[in-house]
Structure 1
Amino acid sequence: MELVPIGEAAHRLGMNTSALRYYEERGLVRPAERRNGRRMYGPDELRQLAFVQVMQRLGMGLDVAAAVLEQPSDQWRSLLREQMAAFELLIARATAARGFLQHAIDCPAHHPVRQCPHLIETLDRQLRHTTADSATSTP
């Protein structure tokens, strides 16, 4: 693949040229070369930009993307493991939330917090757990 100017690179990625300049400023990617002062990107640089874009869509910060692109593999792998653990926790919480909310939606009671036996039991269990936590915590 030939080198493409910044405008073409931005177009291929569906980004603004200002984003590519910002990524360069942050040290995430550098143009393969400059021709008459214009930034030119090759396949490697385009892949790096696509990687940054994917990482951002996944909710990861530029610092994580930079780590994968720049740090030794044991460091960035450790960082990605931490990110994966955070996502696993988020998935578990979202799954629990979905189940809780779906039960409230499906419950025939007009006031599920007052009338639904399942939700009342769940909320009472939460109250017992909260009370136990507050009794054992130190000010």
Structure 2
Amino acid sequence: MAELLTIGDLARRTGLSISAIRFYEARGLVQSLRSSGNQRRFLRGDIRRLSFILIAQRVGLSLAEIETELVALPQSRNPTRADWQRISTRIHGRLEERIALLQRTRDRLGGCIGCGCLSLDTCALYNPADRAAHGGAGPRYLLGDEPGGY
């Protein structure tokens, strides 16, 4: 049988707290085995699973999105390079969308964001009569609508 890790070892290797690992276990994102003394033991591959969770959260994936991806991985063996490649391919588009949103935010935050506030002097130029409102609620231009597109 593959080398198993205690929950403390897993916490040290991932930088997560034991309570966070228990939380992810309760959500089904990692699965422990039980020793004869009923102590949790984890596969070494769970280091990768938990590391993926940390990175995915940092790049903006929701816990639901992370769960959707991890449910596709086998629980009974360590994930392979091909397993991770399939996840990478599936989330690539979502990451590209987030990158585009961050770039738009960086580039437009000092100007009109299409929120309909009409409080800045430039809003009268970028968003006259609150045209952005036709696209829906929220900061329309940061969400991807183009100024003057209404």
* CA distance, structure 2, for counterparts of residue 95 and residue 38 of structure 1: 52
By how many angstroms is 1:127 displaced?
A: 4.5
- Structure-2 separation of matches of 1:133 and 1:2: 58
1:125 and 2:137 matched = no
1:45-84 aligned within 5 A? 45-71=46-72, 77=90, 81-82=93-94, 84=96
For residues 20-35 of structure 1, the aligned pairs below 5 Å read 20-31=21-32, 33-35=33-35
Find the counterpart in structure 2 of residue 103 from structure 1: none
Distance 2:98 2:41 in 1: 37
**How well do the aligned residues superpose, as a CA RMSD in angstroms?**
3.2
Q: CA deviation at 1:129?
A: 5.7
Aligned-pair distance for 1:133?
A: 5.4
TM-score normalized by the length of structure 2: 0.59
Identity %: 28
Q: Which residue pairs with 1:41 in the alignment?
A: 42
- The Cα of 1:55 is off from its aligned counterpart by 1.1
> Which structure features the higher share of helix residues?
1
Provide the secondary structure at the position in 1 that maps to 2:3. Answer: coil
Unaligned runs of 5+ in 1: 101-118
Deviation by residue 1:71-106 (Cα, 9 ceiling, x = unmatched): 4959x82x65245324422321222225x4xxxxxx
Distance in structure 2 (CA, Å) of the matches to 1:47 and 1:20: 13
Aligned length: 113
1:50 Cα offset (Å)? 0.9
1:106 corresponds to which residue?
Answer: none
Q: What is the alpha-carbon distance in structure 1 between the residues aligned to residue 21 and residue 64 of structure 2? A: 16
Q: SS of 1:30's equivalent?
A: coil
Gaps of 5+ in 2: 74-85, 112-119, 136-150
Work out whether 1:93 is the aligned partner of 2:105: yes
Larger-gyration structure (1/2): 1
Tell me the TM-score normalized by structure 1.
Answer: 0.63
